Structure 1
Amino acid sequence: MYPSTPPETGRDSWPENRPGPAGPHRAPDPRGRPAGPDARSPFDGPRVPDGPRHGDGPRPGDGPRNPDGHRAGARVTDGPRPDGEVDPEELDGEEELPPVPVRRLLSVAIAGFAGLLGVGLIFGAQTAGPGARLPFAVVVFGVQLLFVLAWTMAMRPPALLLVGGVAVAVAAAADAAAVLPQIAALAPLGYVAAGGFLVGVLGQLVRRADRARVTESLGATLFIVVGVVAFGTLIVLSRIPKGTQAIFVCLTAAAVALTVARVTDAVLPWPRLAPQVPRGAAGVVIGAMLGTLAAGILGSYLVAFTPTSGAVVGLVAAAAAALADLGVGYGEAGRQMAGEPPTMWVARHMQGPLGGFALAAPAAYAMSVFFL
């Protein structure tokens, strides 16, 4: 048997990375280099002196703190900002506005008003004769007054009374320019519209309080004046051949489109075109289709029309009226979202049908002159 190696007394076991006051113990390098912090290889390069390393400088957020606990220069996001502005990062978490509910009885009431308005204009046109244009002019003037009332109260231009007065004067002058000339033409109506717009603009520029909102004043004045003059084209159309029948076909199509669209919104307001607009796409489409159908049926019974020509003319009038009515809804929703004060309830809901017929009237004249 081989002799066993005598045990070495007084020798501790090999420490395994025990921390101590001098740091962890390192085993000696087999290549003969000393262990410890001075152990370096010839290939390690020059030693960098001890000092501040890259990135050990002061950080932007390590500055002194204010008495409230925030660092100096730091942006405080807790609570409202003193200038009243909203942080764009906070807008991402805002909830969307709830959709506006569809009021069914109100939709039916607006549909009834659109139907009565169309019936009044159609029967007024039937009373007009070669030497009796005044009764129809009186009917048109009444509709123009409703248009001025509804749109001035809804748009609320800076000089409301001035714009309303100028619009009423323009309505009377446009009706006179459509009845009095020996030859029916639209040129006198254009002169009246330009003169009324100029008077309205000058009247608002004279007032110092209205100069700050001159752009809004010009837009409202122009829209109301043009809408009032547009109804005067019906009087001119009643004086040309086939004009009365064209009024019958086009206004019937417009009245059917507006009435059916509103009734459909009361029954099936789907799909919603916008959450803030209480209208449905089904009503607009179905109304325009049924208005075109009604015009085509009337065209098969009238002498100056055929089913095809009646359908084409009715399609233009019905689409114009339906889109104008829909645009009024979007405009009202935009005013409410902008925080403007609500207008008169009756005037606000009369806008759609009145705007639809105001756009359908010149469309009927254009289709009659250029298509028939």
Structure 2
Amino acid sequence: MTDEQTGAPPAGPDAARRGKTGEDRTARDWVGSDEPEAPEQAPAPAPAPAPPAADEPATEEPPRQIVRATGPPRRPPMLVQGMWPALLAAVLVGATVVGLLPLAVAVLGVQVFLVLGALALLDAPASGGAFLVATGTVLAADVVVLADDGRITGLAGVAGVGFVASVAHQLLRKGRSRVTESLADTLVVIVMSVAAACLLALRQVDGGEQVLLVALSAAGAVLLAGRIGDTIAPRPMLAAGSTRGWPGLLLGL
């Protein structure tokens, strides 16, 4: 009986060679490919943590400096400064001639400009609320004079109401800084602007129109003449750094 019939592995060199080949084939089949496997790549090492930076002192931002003009403020020429009040006086004169209602409109405009100029000159705190209070007060003063046929007895009560409104404004505004200064500035503006309502009262009395025309014309002429004198002969000055001179002052008088 042969080796093939019995199923025993063949003996001899051929059998050894065949057995070795079979083992190689079995190994290749187990691997699945004739190509060698690529070596596994090791994971990249994690980067080392950076050393803690030294605590640097925080640099403080220097405070902002407010740059103020060192020289005198720029002003319009002398003649222009004199022409504006003269033009305003001319408008009031024309309104006086036309009638009471045009004069009331012109006086109200003058009062509003007076309030704005005084608040800006005084640099009043909370000037927005002060402007509203003063404007409402002067409007009430004009209405009282017109409704009372030229009598000014009600102006004191209007000024008192303006004072109460000023105090209420101080209580309602935020921050409430510089309360005394703001209240004082508001009252000064109210008194000055309410006094302008007397022009309406003067227009309604007998002979008041002529008096009003003379007074307004004289005021405009004096202001214009004074500025003309300052333009022609600015020295000697009234004070150091002043734009007014003694010749202009004497000419205006």
TM tier, shorter chain?
A: 0.5 to 0.7
2:227 corresponding residue in structure 1: 262
How far does the alpha carbon of each residue in 1:216-247 deviate from its partner, in whole angstroms, 9 at most, with x for none?
21321111111211111000000001111111
2:161 corresponding residue in structure 1: 195
Residue of structure 1 aligned with 2:186, choices 206, 221, 230: 221
* Mapped pair 1:250 → 2:215: yes
Counterpart residue identity of residue 204, structure 1: Q
Residue 168 of structure 1 and its aligned partner are, at CA, apart by 1.1
Residue 248 of structure 1 and its aligned partner are, at CA, apart by 0.9
Residue 179 of structure 1 and its aligned partner are, at CA, apart by 0.7
Give SS of 1:279's match: coil
Residue of structure 2 aligned with 1:113, choices 84, 99, 103: 84
Alpha-carbon distance in structure 1 between the residues aligned to 2:141 and 2:218: 25
Residue 258 of structure 1 and its aligned partner are, at CA, apart by 0.9
Kindly, what percent of the aligned residue pairs are identical? 33
1:285 corresponding residue in structure 2: 250
Give SS of 2:244's match: strand
Residue 100 of structure 1 and its aligned partner are, at CA, apart by 5.3
- Give the number of equivalent residue pairs: 184
Give SS of 2:220's match: helix
Counterpart residue identity of residue 153, structure 1: A
Alpha-carbon distance in structure 1 between the residues aligned to 2:252 and 2:97: 25
Alpha-carbon distance in structure 2 between the residues aligned to 1:261 and 1:251: 16
CA shift in 2, pair 1:134/1:271, >3 Å: same
1:184 corresponding residue in structure 2: 150
Residue 158 of structure 1 and its aligned partner are, at CA, apart by 1.2
Alpha-carbon distance in structure 2 between the residues aligned to 1:227 and 1:162: 17
Q: Output aligned runs, 1:14-25, within 5 Å.
A: none
Unpaired stretches in structure 1, ≥5 consecutive residues: 1-97, 289-372
1:122 corresponding residue in structure 2: 93
- Which has the higher Rg, Structure 1 or Structure 2? 2
- Report if the CA contact (8 A) 1:174-1:192 is conserved: yes
Alpha-carbon distance in structure 1 between the residues aligned to 2:73 and 2:230: 11
Alpha-carbon distance in structure 2 between the residues aligned to 1:283 and 1:213: 38
Unpaired stretches in structure 2, ≥5 consecutive residues: 1-69
1:136 corresponding residue in structure 2: 103
TM-score normalised per structure 1: 0.46
Residue 205 of structure 1 and its aligned partner are, at CA, apart by 3.5
* Mapped pair 1:230 → 2:195: yes
Q: Output aligned runs, 1:322-337, within 5 Å.
A: none
Alpha-carbon distance in structure 1 between the residues aligned to 2:74 and 2:186: 31
1:207 corresponding residue in structure 2: 173
Residue 270 of structure 1 and its aligned partner are, at CA, apart by 2.0
How far does the alpha carbon of each residue in 1:154-189 deviate from its partner, in whole angstroms, 9 at most, with x for none?
2221111100011111121111111112x4211112
How far does the alpha carbon of each residue in 1:339-366 deviate from its partner, in whole angstroms, 9 at most, with x for none?
xxxxxxxxxxxxxxxxxxxxxxxxxxxx
Residue 276 of structure 1 and its aligned partner are, at CA, apart by 3.0
Counterpart residue identity of residue 180, structure 1: A
